[in-house]
Amino acid sequence: MKKDKILLPKRPSSTGSPWLWIGTWSMGGEGFGHHDERESLRTLWTAAENNIRHFDTAGFYAHGKSEKLLQQIIKTEREEFFISSKGGLVWNGRRVEHQASPEALIRQLHESFDRLKTDYLDLYQLHWPDPKVPIGESIDALSDLKMKGLIRSWGVGNLTDYDLYQYLDGEKDIPHQVHFNPVHRNFNILHAGDRQCINCIVSPLEQGLLARDRARSDKDRSGKNDLRKRNPYFSDLKVLLWCKKFNELLNHHRVSKVSMILMWICAQPHVHAVIPGPRKTSQMDELLRFRAEVEEYGLLASVDEDSIISRKKAAEVVPADIWKLMSKGP
């Protein structure tokens, strides 16, 4: 992958895979079913102990609890970690509100500082555009925060291809969080961000749906507050049949299902980082296995390629029928 698409901590001495970030949305204990805070903390420590240094969070996640949990991991070696957080979405009681005015973004940044017990962020992003605030105004505020030294980089999230062309024209290597996986296929967004963006893939396993051993409908989920009940893919018959077909093709291959999906994503042009969100050590172990398989098979792309891993090499590791299924989608 091209060097200018890689983001590093202030002191990157032990960063072995800067393209693999750990998302913390599900770790705070809200919206993802049964929660064990000790297990979430063990998951974070497992990542850190295995030289994963990039973590993505937000003040919005679990009313700030995810940031507070992450603080326990970074408190002794802050400069060795690359911490990405976000502003623009807030809780007002039980309601979610967009608040991305310059004043709101500054306030939310300092609230993140307090929860993380840090005086800077490596990356601060606009979580979602605010319908009440021009996107350019929010971006100008982020840029100003970088100039003041409060953040090392600024970024955006969930923009359309039109937004990228309109608001990031002339910019270079701006981190952009993009929802992308074999069932949510935002190829146009990735392509639109070719020059201007560092495309960081969120929800690569579609909130766990794609990692399952069998396809189940949304009715199988317990807990009225599980936000995945509102994810249409969990009850989309076409997607569930696609997942069932995927599982039928697995046939005890040496490479795991999670690894196959992440390899396919990381081999796509204009993908520069991937952000899965484990909340159990077993899920973290799957991600470490994926990273080990990338290294074992020598899949990392050359510095001339605009992807994390080589598409040609990955397609030789993932069985052809499964690669074809992912490329076609539901």
Q: Which whole number is the average pLDDT over 273-277?
A: 98
pLDDT greater than 80 at residue 23: yes
- Non-local (6+) Cβ contacts of 302 within 8 A are 310
pLDDT digits (tens, 9 = 90+) for 169-222: 999 999 999 999 999 999 999 999 988 999 999 999 999 999 987 655 444 455
Where residue 9 falls among pLDDT bands split at 50, 70, 90?
very high
Q: What is the mean pLDDT of residues 116-128?
A: 98
Q: What is the pLDDT of residue 171?
A: 94
Q: What band does 2 get if pLDDT is binned at 50, 70 and 90?
A: confident
Token pair belonging to 247 = 């599982």
What pLDDT was estimated at residue 218? 46
Structure token digits, residue 283: 């899920």
pLDDT of residue 3: 87
Whether 144 shows a pLDDT value over 90: the answer reads yes
Output DSSP code: residue 309: B
Query: Over 90: is that where the pLDDT of 140 sits?
Result: yes
Question: How many domains does the chain contain in total?
Answer: 1
pLDDT at 52 over 80: yes
- Considering only CA atoms, which of 42, 52, 49 is closest in space to residue 22? 52
* Mean pLDDT over the full length of the chain: 93
Q: What six digits make up the tokens of 73?
A: 């991991």
* The pLDDT value given to residue 214: 63
Query: What is the average pLDDT across 318-322?
Result: 95
Joined together, the tokens standing for residue 163 give: 């937004």
- Domain around 82: 3-328
pLDDT value at residue 220: 47
Alpha carbons within 13 angstroms on the beta-carbon side of residue 225 total: 10
pLDDT in tens, 227-242: 888 899 999 999 999 9
**Whole-prediction pTM:** 0.95
**What CATH number has the domain bearing residue 55?**
3.20.20.100
Q: Give the model's pLDDT for residue 30.
A: 79
Which pLDDT tens digit goes with each residue over 243-264? Answer: 999 999 997 788 999 999 999 9
Q: What local confidence, expressed as pLDDT, does residue 265 receive?
A: 98
Higher local confidence (pLDDT), 112 or 216: 112
Q: Which two tokens stand for residue 65?
A: 């609890």
- As a whole number, mean pLDDT of residues 293-321 equals 95
Percentage of the chain with pLDDT > 90?
84
What would you report as the CA-atom Rg of the chain, rounded to the nearest whole angstrom? 19
CA distances from 54 to 40, 50, 60, 61, 80 (A): 16, 12, 19, 17, 9
Rounded Cα distance, 45 and 51, in Å: 10
Which of these, 327, 314, 321, 287, lies nearest to 182 by C-alpha position?
327
Per-residue pLDDT at 106: 98
